[in-house]
Amino acid sequence: MKAARGAMPGGRDAMRMMQKMGMKVDEVANVSRVIIRTASKDIVIEEPSVTMVTVQGQAMYQIAGGQVKEEVPAPQAPTTTAPSEADVQLVAQQTGKSMDESRNALVTAGGDLAKAILSLKGQAAPSS
């Protein structure tokens, strides 16, 4: 059956029309989950149909279908890196404290040398 004049074209006709206008449409295969992460929640879409539409070099993703649920993400533990031995030695030299005390002060100060030195010298670190 032909579409009435002025009606929306069918899927195949729409694809041809978009290609003529310089749009490239590709199905993204084997998508099992799409997660949209906001500041307060994750929107999770299971088993969606995802299509990538490229227009003038700009890629857009169209997500259709699937089971939608909202989740509150688990808080992430802050990542801490061990201070370098050079930093630990510098703090120890400046304060006269042991390497272990200097290392602990650096960890507590989040790697900030000045804060670690001031805390070991018993002075309050200036607030940022």
- The 8-class DSSP code of residue 44 comes to E
Architecture of 85-120 per CATH? Orthogonal Bundle (1.10)
Residue with the two structure tokens 């449409």: 25
Q: Where are the domains of the chain?
A: 24-71, 85-120
Determine the distance from the C-alpha atom of residue 17 to the mean position of all C-alpha atoms in its chain, rounded to a whole number.
Answer: 36
**Average of per-residue pLDDT across 60-87:** 84
Overall CATH class of domain 24-71: mainly beta
**Average of per-residue pLDDT across 62-69:** 92
Residues in the chain: 128
For residue range 8-47, list pLDDT tens digits in order.
556 778 777 877 888 888 899 999 999 999 888 999 999 9
With a cut of 70, say whether residue 6 has pLDDT above it. Answer: no
Within the chain, residue ranges assigned H as helices are 11-20, 85-95, 99-108, 113-120
CA distance 119 to 20: 68
